[in-house]
Chain A
């Protein structure tokens, strides 16, 4: 089989790339190894409304499990800071529907899909890529001028193309989650719990859905004394006020890359979404970045195909576009991540005292200078802040 573009993986990154390519008249084939697009989810399903709007992506009403108005953050003592108001509104999605909807939009635009079909390997042959795929019909070869690696944290496309796309354990959260029914929380908010004992170098989340909630956490192995599964079990046991009458209806795991250091392009190849580790290094959200990178890659890919130049040099304009929007911001957020990783439980309590919801929002937007000023009043944090947030 011969196509202009082969998209590997039908997550948010793959389907948005496919839709945008097809809309530009590119003959696109999406290959997804799972029998059903979506499950098992590796996700807490939270997204900000504003970010989706900025991308022009309208989730189908069935894709939205709950609309939330803000976030509640908890220090280890239970002290709470609420972030609410302008820009904090969000959705907790039903990802399997969200992903199927994105796929069906791409198909309407002209893309073709195959499910339960895995890309096994690919080689560069005469200036194109030959990929071996295997599905219900057996094994066949797909020849493509352009390959989009939208294959998530497991990405092999980058490796096959010779890119250093390996994740590092030091920058990769181990995630574990139950979707639970009958959790008692304020369902207008998502809830985030911090602390060394709660979730070392990460946090616990409770994201309410229509009639259930995603209850999970991500931790860094470096500081962990148990597995993420055990940390979550302990958290649930320690919080009967939320979980006394709750039980799981689903269990999920996953890896979350919290540092982006991979190259995104090779001759005839672009990596999008988690395959290129495009995740917000502070909160680990990757859905929006995955789709944004997809839009950029589709735009560059369609023009490059039209021009007949799929060299790395040509495709690098995708990477430049990405860097223009995200490079500085990601660098700032990484600094903030390294700062937060140094905090002791007592420091979280201090932060809960001195920061209000709006401040924390500013921080997640990578605006740090006001924070340093606030922290100036607290000598115990000042040293740390100076060390990690200034250069």
Chain B
């Protein structure tokens, strides 16, 4: 499962709209990854600041 570095996340939500399995949700200022995550790595590639880590 992709791991969010909450100290770096800018809460821009850009990753959410890219997740093919709808595993990401931004709750105002808290980005959550659900069990559905397949570690496809798309969000990791996108993140403007590198706040997402996984095995792409």
Contacts and interface: CB of A to CB of B under 8 A. Distances in A.
A118 B47 contact: no
B27 A174 contact: no
Nearest to B26: A154
Given A33-B27, A35-B28, A118-B28, A154 B48 contact: no
A33 B48 contact: no
B18 A229 contact: no
A155 interface: yes
B38 to A, nearest CB: 14
Interface in B1-56: 10-20, 22, 25-28, 42, 45-50
A33 B25 CA distance: 12
Given A118-B27, A118-B28, A229 B49 contact: yes
Contact of A227 (B18, B25, B49): B49
Given A33-B28, A153-B17, A228 B48 contact: yes
A373 to B, nearest CB: 38
Interface stretch (A70-78, A193-201, A248-256): A248-256
A176 B8 CA distance: 13
A253 B27 CA distance: 16
A168 B20 CA distance: 9
A152 interface: yes
Contact of B28 (A34, A152, A172, A251): A34
Contacts of B28: 33-35, 116, 118
Interface of B: 10-20, 22, 25-28, 42, 45-50
27 contacts: A33-B27, A34-B28, A35-B28, A40-B10, A40-B11, A42-B13, A118-B28, A153-B13, A153-B16, A153-B17, A154-B17, A154-B26, A166-B20, A167-B18, A168-B18, A174-B46, A174-B47, A221-B45, A221-B46, A229-B49, A251-B10, A252-B12, A253-B10, A253-B47, A254-B14, A255-B12, A255-B14
Given A118-B27, A155-B17, A175-B14, 16 more contacts: A42-B12, A154-B17, A154-B26, A172-B18, A174-B48, A175-B48, A176-B48, A176-B49, A227-B47, A227-B48, A229-B50, A253-B10, A253-B14, A254-B12, A255-B15, A255-B17
